[in-house]
Chain A
Amino acid sequence: MGAVQRDHESIIGGVAVLGLSALLYSQVMPGQFDGVALARNPMTVPRFLLALFALGGAYLLVRGLVSRAGTTWPAVAWRKVLAIAVLAAAYFWAFDPIGFIPATLVLLPLAFLSLGYRNPLVIAAVTLITAPLLWYVFAEGFSIRPPGFGMDDLLRALGGM
């Protein structure tokens, strides 16, 4: 925990809102709907909301700059957050093209280890049980086959041997 002299939460929040507003501005202001009646114009509501959003962001920024009230940041284990965020992104990206089972077999041990869990037996057991079990529950129980190589492929391959 570290005390700061300004309301940095509001300043960063205000800048983020204004940045997002700028990003949305390019989408909300195309001229293709100019001249269309308000009720028929698809941009009427987004433009109104964006104007309020940007005004709110500016207010937050000014409030943060003017305020003398200090604030405290919560202690965050950034390395762990970054590790799990990167792992999650890689897992979500690989989920469809590589397949549920292979992606999960890689993700789980890496996630456990990166979060500081070191029991190899539990890691192996949970990983080896979770992936096929969830695949089976979704594929057979809910009739939703997870993507990629599955237990049915495995059984077919074993049957063909």
Chain B
Amino acid sequence: MDAFLHALGALADPLILLILLGGTAAGILIGAMPGLGSVLAITLALPLTFVMGPEPSIALLLGLYAGSVYGGSLSAILINTPGTPQAAATVLDGYPMMRQGKGDVALGWATVASTVGGVFSVAVLIVAAPMLARLGLEFGPVEYFALGIFALTCVVSVSRDDLAKGLLACLLGLLAATIGQDPLTGDVRLHFGNFNLMAGIALVPFLVGLFALSEVFWRVGEDVHPDDRPIGKTGFRLPPLRDMLSRWRVFGKSATIGTLIGTLPGVGATASSMVSYAEARRSSPNRANFGKGEPDGVIASETANNAVTGGALVPTLALGIPGDPITAVMLGALIIQGITPGPRLFVENGDLMAFIFLALLIVNLLLLGLGAIMCVLFARAIRAPEPVLMGLILVLLAIGTFSVNNNGFDLMVMLLAGLVGFGMRLLRFPLAPVVIGFVLGPMIEQSLRQGLLISRGDPVVFFSKPIALFFFVASALFLLWSGWRHWNERRDTRTEETDA
């Protein structure tokens, strides 16, 4: 209790509050710019932390972290470009809402969902940090493989119009993820003799090209008069409280998924938002509207990716194991401050731990106010005439993607991904399964082969662990249920045709 009172005293300092506010606003801005992301946001602030004390440094980093994860949703909804990879699933329903003229509501849902996810994860962080850290350590290769397979089954849900095309799109993503260095042996594969491909295809240019650049091509090709397009005019509107309460299941489930996955080292917010989206898609009463502008889709993705912020800090602080690259950078920042994360941190730095918990809570609450202001500003910026907007997006995509690795080859990857995405749209292949396969592919392959190595090639090992077994059974049940539902829908359609 003393620790929390001490932390409250520290947070009452106007300078700390200002740093929290500035860090969160800067995080939202950086997150909203396609190509930049949470890692960049935190890395940029690292030099500043050298000259700051532990508490201001942590306040700044937490603001940037939560702000940037949320900021990715702004560009995802407004321009069909996930500002950060974590917002990839937000595009699937956020942008269709924008096109239907409900962009303001979509931004409202994304903001509320991010706040709910963040606050929930902080509550879990406070109550169950040591316990969750131990659960995360239960996950070995076998469990990760089962989790990956379970997450892949969501392709069935996002490919309702044409399952064959959806599965092929997913395979394309899985294949693209195998390009470059083998994660286990280090051998280089599928590089077509190109030196640049030896490191593999980077996520940012691939994602930005597939969604954003192909969207530019698509919108240009729609041949609408430059001044006729109604979209791009939006503001910010909080959804009614009644609507929020009626969707409590999606909020609760997504926040739980995000927090739990956040505690698993190496999985990250992108996979968590995908898993959460898939889960919402299979269980939501509004599942038929997914992909067409369903708020549950935005809620699932945004609640989960912001819930990861608290979850990922659990193993980082309690065990010194970073859950993702972002927390890895934060771990470095803590060490710079002379703080060594690990089980003894809770005992030796109780005041600081309480400060972290409360600061993250305030940052997540700030998202609500700052998000409302910055959504409006960002939305105004995209009210330009269509050709001007498309030209500017092209420039933003290029500079954002280039700046990640300072590599011109990334721009070529983005161009190719953009052309492939355009072709896929033309042939009515869904884009989401490509990203799902690309994001989950490395985890699935690595855990599969590690599991086989541990068991000396015996596949039975994958069915011998309770957690893995749970995921396999859940996957099988979901596939059976999807098949049954599909069969029922076809039967109903045939009956309707016969009646007609």
Contacts and interface: CB of A to CB of B under 8 A. Distances in A.
Interface stretch (B7-15, B213-221, B251-259, B301-309): B213-221
A26 B435 CA distance: 24
Contacts of B36: 142
Contacts of B339: none
Interface in B162-181: 164-165, 167-168, 171-172, 174-175, 178
Interface stretch (B65-73, B93-101, B421-429): B421-429
B190 A115 contact: no
A69 to B, nearest CB: 12
B223 interface: yes
Given A39-B449, A77-B223, A112-B387, A100 B399 contact: yes
B238 to A, nearest CB: 30
B399 A134 contact: yes
Contact of B175 (A50, A78, A108): A50
Contacts of B385: 117, 122
B40 interface: yes
A142 to B, nearest CB: 6
A89 B453 contact: no
B419 A85 contact: yes
B412 A84 contact: no
B403 A95 contact: no
A115 B223 contact: no
B415 interface: yes
B92 interface: no
Interface residues of B, number: 66
B189 A89 contact: no
Contacts of B399: 100, 134, 138, 146
B247 to A, nearest CB: 33
Contacts of A150: none
Interface string A11-44: 0110011001000100110000100011110111
A92 B427 contact: no
Given A39-B452, A53-B171, A104 B395 contact: yes
B369 interface: no
A49 interface: yes
Nearest to A104: B395
B415 A115 contact: no
Interface in B389-418: 390-392, 394-396, 398-399, 402-403, 406, 408, 411-412, 414-415, 418
Nearest to B187: A42
A95 B457 contact: no
A63 interface: yes
B164 A63 contact: yes
B453 A24 contact: no
A126 B390 CA distance: 12
Q: Which secondary structure dominates chain A's binding surface?
A: helix
B221 A76 contact: yes
A5 interface: no
A5 B187 CA distance: 48
B428 A9 contact: yes
B387 A111 contact: yes
Interface in B28-49: 30, 36, 40, 44
A104 B187 CA distance: 39
A112 B453 contact: no
A20 B423 CA distance: 13
A46 interface: yes
B84 to A, nearest CB: 15
B427 A56 contact: no
Nearest to A109: B391
Contact of A112 (B388, B406, B415, B452): B388
Contacts of B392: 108, 126, 130
Contacts of B190: 24, 27-28, 46
A22 to B, nearest CB: 13
Contact of B220 (A33, A59, A115): A115
B221 A80 contact: yes
B185 interface: yes
Contacts of A45: 178, 445, 448-449
A7 B354 CA distance: 62
Contacts of A42: 182, 184-185, 187, 189
26 contacts: A9-B427, A13-B429, A37-B457, A38-B457, A39-B453, A40-B453, A42-B182, A44-B449, A45-B449, A53-B171, A56-B164, A56-B167, A74-B426, A80-B223, A84-B216, A92-B411, A92-B414, A92-B415, A104-B395, A117-B387, A122-B388, A131-B395, A134-B396, A138-B403, A142-B44, A144-B406
Interface of B: 30, 36, 40, 44, 164-165, 167-168, 171-172, 174-175, 178, 182, 184-185, 187, 189-192, 213, 216-217, 220-223, 225-226, 384-388, 390-392, 394-396, 398-399, 402-403, 406, 408, 411-412, 414-415, 418-419, 422-423, 426-429, 445, 448-450, 452-453, 457
Closest 8 CB pairs of A and B: A115-B387, A77-B223, A96-B408, A39-B452, A42-B182, A92-B411, A117-B387, A111-B391
